Homo-oligomer: A and B are copies of this chain.
Amino acid sequence: MVERKPDDQMLTAILKAVSDPRRRELLTLLVQHGPTRVTDLARHFDVSLNAVSKHIKVLEAAGLVRRRTEWREHLIEPDMGPVREIDRWFQDLRSIWTQRLDALDKILETEPDDE
């Protein structure tokens, strides 16, 4: 459910997930401390446990964290994989951009005077 559908939808999910500061902070905590229980993650914030639980679900749906359930304890761990999707998109964008500029340069080269 993580990749395999390199669709725009997945990219949207990933970007939406990290566009929330709380979720970015959550991700930071996770890469700092490794697999962590939901309750322990929630301790770092002044919002309810439920709010944190929901944020984790969003990150999970975006494939940015995985969950290892050991009965009532759910260990959450980060997965940086999906970030590649973001990188790829921006790289594509930049490539189109520079390509266009190069083409423009060539035109200006052959046609020195213009209005």
B residues within 8 A CB of A104?
34
Cβ of A50 within 8 Å of any chain B Cβ, yes or no, is no
**Separation of A32 and B87 alpha carbons in the complex (Å):** 19
Cβ of A38 within 8 Å of any chain B Cβ, yes or no, is no
B residues within 8 A CB of A31?
93-94, 96-97, 100
User: Can you name the residue of chain B whose Cβ is closest to the Cβ of A28?
Assistant: B2
Number of A residues with CB within 8 Å of any CB on chain B: 33
**Separation of A34 and B107 alpha carbons in the complex (Å):** 14
Structural contact, A100 and B19, CB atoms closer than 8 A: no
Binding site for B on A (CB under 8 A): 2, 4, 8-9, 11-12, 15-16, 18-21, 24-25, 27-28, 31-34, 78, 80, 83, 86-87, 89-90, 93-94, 96-97, 100, 104
Q: A94-B80, A97-B80 are in contact. Are A21 and B34 (CB under 8 A)?
A: no
Structural contact, A32 and B100, CB atoms closer than 8 A: yes
Q: With a 10 A CB-CB cut-off, give which of A8, A34, A96, A104 has the most chain B CB atoms.
A: A96
